[in-house]
Chains A and B, each alone.
Chain A
Amino acid sequence: MSVTLELDKSLKVKITLTLFSDVTNSKELRQKLVEGSLQCSIIKPSLVLDTFQLLVAANKAVLSQQQGTLKTKGIYSEILYNLSPSKNITESLKTFGIGENDTSILVLVLNDIDGTKVNSISSVVKGKLASLDTLNMHTNEQEIKKVYKIKEAEQNCGSLLGSLVSRIAVKEIISI
């Protein structure tokens, strides 16, 4: 059910994405993330339009890690932070990360070569494994436009996905 995608070749890193629906223990999962006993990014699927958006954010995070310029405590929080157009870390993690009442979650792990990372996370999640092809069913475009502050004028030029990844790519050098 998980899908593994490669980041830019020079980075030599792969990401694995797993989607869960009907999750009942989000509060507990969130607690484990805060404690550090769960090593992954848990993302709200409603704010994900396309896996390319995740690839761009993860690629940027790994690049920062390799160059020693992470803005947050670790690579997994950095990915969540990068997804957000905001420079406020707490707010970014809150917006894009798992909320206590979320019932669908998207789990992202790095370099899960033999699948053990995903397996150990799956054993903690109380919910159903879902196909990543169903990601679009969870996407909320209105919410995305609100969070990324995409106004009417911008919607007539180029794709929405292009607007999202552009904001991710330039977030520290532009204020929106």
Chain B
Amino acid sequence: MDIADNKQLVKQGAEAKIFKGSFLRKPAMFKERFRKTYRHPILDESITKERMKAEARSLVRCRMLGIHTPAVYSIDFSTRVIIMEDVSEDTQTMRMYIDNVQNSNKNDVLKELKPLMERVGQIIATLHKNSIVHGDLTTSNMLVKLGRDRSTPEVIIIDFGLSYVDGSAEDKGVDLYVLERAFLSTHPNTEELFKTLLQSYRRNYGKGSSEVLNKLEEVRMRGRKRTMVG
């Protein structure tokens, strides 16, 4: 696929560039993983291919589990591009959404955001129960669909570029820890909200959730990386 005309760069990350454009007359997002010149070309090719596969697989598997993710339109290993549905219409990143609610002078921010937190807890529990670790849970990688008056808010999860399949409580605990760090550092005074999220996670995960939450506690004490001492 040509990443050339009529495409607009919207994000540049460490792994890939995201362009907005159209594919077969539908609005679409193009995620192009660029070459890392410091890697041996053959290794670079194989790493990129594996990551593209993992990303596409996670996107589709999540959808099958009832988690809203962008539809996948095309994968081209030769140009290193995954083309996805553009879900930006009528959505806002959760980061902006929470900011707006916090700045809106509403008396009860907690009450306002509670259903959203419960839904996110439920989504992550579903992911983890099915051994999918997202790898980069932040409030910028979650989108909230606006203008819908529904009892459960519609949340879309994006960027599965670092996702992988793993059943261990350790990796799930780290997944939650990454979100907790991102959450509490971007949104001040949200400890209570995050508790709501974890309660929902526990409830929806059911059996096995204690093991993950104990791991989370452990990771909080030591940080994301395992100690290599001894």
Contact = CB atoms under 8 A, between A and B. Distances in A.
A169 B65 contact: no
Interface residues on B, range: 20 to 34
A174 B68 contact: no
B24 interface: yes
A73 interface: no
B12 interface: no
Interface string A142-176: 00000000010110111101110111011001101
Contact of B71 (A67, A156, A162): A162
Interface in B50-81: 53, 56-57, 59-61, 63-76, 78
Nearest to B59: A166
B213 to A, nearest CB: 25
Chain B interface, >50% SS class: mixed
Interface string B19-44: 00001111000000000000000000
Given A56-B74, A59-B74, A165-B72, A157 B67 contact: yes
Nearest to A60: B74
B2 A159 contact: no
Contacts of B1: 8, 10
Interface residues of A, number: 30
Contacts of B23: 8
Given A165-B71, A166-B72, A154 B53 contact: no
Nearest to B68: A157
A59 B24 contact: yes
B24 A7 contact: yes
Interface of A: 5, 7-10, 52, 55-56, 59-60, 63, 67, 151, 153-154, 156-159, 161-163, 165-167, 169-170, 173-174, 176
7 contacts: A55-B24, A154-B63, A162-B70, A169-B72, A169-B74, A170-B56, A174-B57
